[in-house]
Amino acid sequence: AQSVTQLDSHVSVSEGTPVLLRCNYSSSYSPSLFWYVQHPNKGLQLLLKYTSAATLVKGINGFEAEFKKSETSFHLTKPSAHMSDAAEYFCVVSDRDFGNEKLTFGTGTRLTIIP
Amino acid sequence: DTAVSQTPKYLVTQMGNDKSIKCEQNLGHDTMYWYKQDSKKFLKIMFSYNNKELIINETVPNRFSPKSPDKAHLNLHINSLELGDSAVYFCASSQELGTTGKNFYEQYFGPGTRLTVT
């Protein structure tokens, strides 16, 4: 069975300061990992994905995440927060279930940007 | 062009009613999904269809019945609506992508349908 733990339900940072959203995973297999973002009253958008290639993954809008197998972590970072980054962020682990992708979502981290 | 679309965007109805939510994707994907997001923002998969066949059914009450007339559409019909069905329902689709010998599927999500049962 696979699972994802997002360690912070809410993170607040000032505009222009670094962002760190933490995620730990558990998977029986070599996992694929994703970060999705959900802006208020919007659908989910894929930020970045890890699929056993490079451990440091770059995504859209300046976000990146590093896969650390020894720590079973996939933390999301951004060097400098922007007001438009305020949203809900979901860490997701994937598994193959009868040949089809099955995503397991974390409980989400709400990112607030302080002007 | 909209990749994954859902209708309606908002749905308010009374307990006991039957309602449907429609989903369409124009990405040519083979697999479609329904997710439920509760009031605490927790997302959980409900169903998965591949080429019109049910693949994943995550212990959802049988009041929920997905229907896939073709691989571009996956509709969700809900009978005898209950208060606890109030949530945002997301449709998604995916197509196998291969990279470095490991296949993975990137899922594309629709904008969601906010269902409120009164």
Summarised one tens digit per residue, pLDDT across range A84-115 is: 999 999 999 887 654 556 788 999 999 999 99
| B77 touches B3 (CB < 8 A) | no
Long-range CB contact pairs, B37-43, < 8 A, 24+: B37/B87, B37/B88, B37/B89, B37/B90, B37/B112, B38/B87, B39/B86, B39/B87, B40/A107, B41/A38, B41/A88, B41/A107, B41/A108, B42/A105, B42/A107, B42/A108, B43/A44, B43/A90, B43/A105, B43/A108, B43/B90
User: Chain A partners of B30 at a C-beta cutoff of 8 Å?
Assistant: none
What pLDDT, on a 0 to 100 scale, did the predictor assign at position B98?
A: 38
Closest residue to B100, CB basis, from A36, A45, A52: A52
User: Chain A partners of B99 at a C-beta cutoff of 8 Å?
Assistant: 51, 53
Q: Among positive and negative, which fits the CA dihedral A26, A76, A54, B96? A: positive
What pLDDT, on a 0 to 100 scale, did the predictor assign at position B1?
A: 61
Summarised one tens digit per residue, pLDDT across range B33-69 is: 999 998 888 888 898 888 777 777 777 889 999 998 8
- The single-letter code of the amino acid at A92 is V
Q: Which residue of B has its CA nearest to A34?
A: B106
Beta B113-117 vs B10-13: how paired, if at all? parallel
Summarised one tens digit per residue, pLDDT across range A12-37 is: 999 999 999 999 998 777 788 899 99
Closest residue to A90, CB basis, from B43, B100, B108: B43
For range A51-79, the mean pLDDT: 91
User: Chain B partners of A107 at a C-beta cutoff of 8 Å?
Assistant: 40-42
Residue A26 neighbours by CB under 8 Å, 6+ apart: A1, A2, A3, A4, A5, A72, A93
Q: Is the CB of A107 less than 8 angstroms away from the CB of B42?
A: yes
User: Chain A partners of B42 at a C-beta cutoff of 8 Å?
Assistant: 105, 107-108
Q: Which residue of B has its CA nearest to A44?
A: B109
**How many C-beta neighbours within 10 Å does residue B48 have?**
27
For range A65-78, the mean pLDDT: 94
- For residue A73, which of A4, A11, A2 has the smallest C-alpha distance? A4
